[in-house]
Amino acid sequence: MPNPLSALGIAHTALSLVPLGAAIYSFARYRAIEPDTRAGRVYLIGLVASVLTAFGLSSTGGFNAGHALGILALLAVSGAWLAPKLSFLGRASAYLATLGWSFSVFLLLVPGINETLTRLPPAQPLASGPDSPLVRGALLAWLGIFALGYAAQVFMLRARRRGAAAARR
């Protein structure tokens, strides 16, 4: 069976694995995406490259939901990067930054889950489209993982803040 992906589709898929790998590494090592680390910078560069290459792809012939999610992911990381620099946000800045970085990972995988389940295995894909129960279930599970992951990050931020406050006393 011929490969159903174009050269740009293959490049986009490969580029999309870069931020995914960097995010997994960051969450395992730092429990968050830390933009000042090498993994954080790789994540950001990979995300931008992935989103930009997605604009050359469209199964509908124009702007689609995947493109919108890419723009939202870029807005999320922009807000995450900016939040710590805005002093009026106070203590909320750390929580908003963490939410932005984590939400961008969530958004990155929404089209990835759909594309994977509707293309693999090539001879008989697991799902027929985005409305497939398998795709919807996988996306619901991914939403749950995101919510639990962010909640865990919030608890870690609070514990870190309490530990720092106790050390100052």
Which tens digits make up the pLDDT trace of 13-55?
Answer: 999 999 999 999 999 999 999 999 999 999 999 999 999 999 8
Residue 5's pLDDT is what? 75
- What is the extent of the structural domain holding 54? 7-168
Least confidently predicted of 3-7, 44-48, 109-113: 3-7
Residue 3: per-residue pLDDT: 52
Residue 58 lies in a domain: yes
pLDDT of residue 87: 94
Q: What is the pLDDT of residue 139?
A: 98
pLDDT value at 1 more than 60: no
Rounded to the nearest 10 degrees, the angle between the axes of helix 38-54 and helix 92-119 is: 50
Among candidate residues 25, 19, 27, the one with its CA nearest the CA of residue 112:
19
Q: Is residue 82 part of a domain?
A: yes
Q: How many helices (H) and strands (E) does the chain have?
A: 5, 0
Higher-confidence position of 2 and 148:
148
Q: Is residue 122 predicted with pLDDT exceeding 60?
A: yes
Is residue 12, in this structure, part of any structural domain at all? Answer: yes
Q: Give pLDDT, residue 26.
A: 97
- Band of pLDDT at residue 59, cut at 50, 70 and 90: low
How far is residue 109 CA from its own chain's centroid?
A: 6
Query: Does residue 1 form part of some domain?
Result: no
Fill in the amino acid letter for 118: T
Q: Is the pLDDT reported for residue 107 higher than 70?
A: yes
> Looking at the 3D structure of the chain, how many domains does it have?
1
The reported pLDDT for the residue numbered 2 is 47
pTM listed for this prediction: 0.89
Per the CB < 8 A criterion, the answer to whether 146 and 102 are in contact is yes
Residues 124-166: tens digit of each pLDDT: 999 998 999 999 999 999 999 999 999 999 999 999 888 877 8
Residue that the structure tokens 């697991």 belong to: 126
2 domain-assigned = no
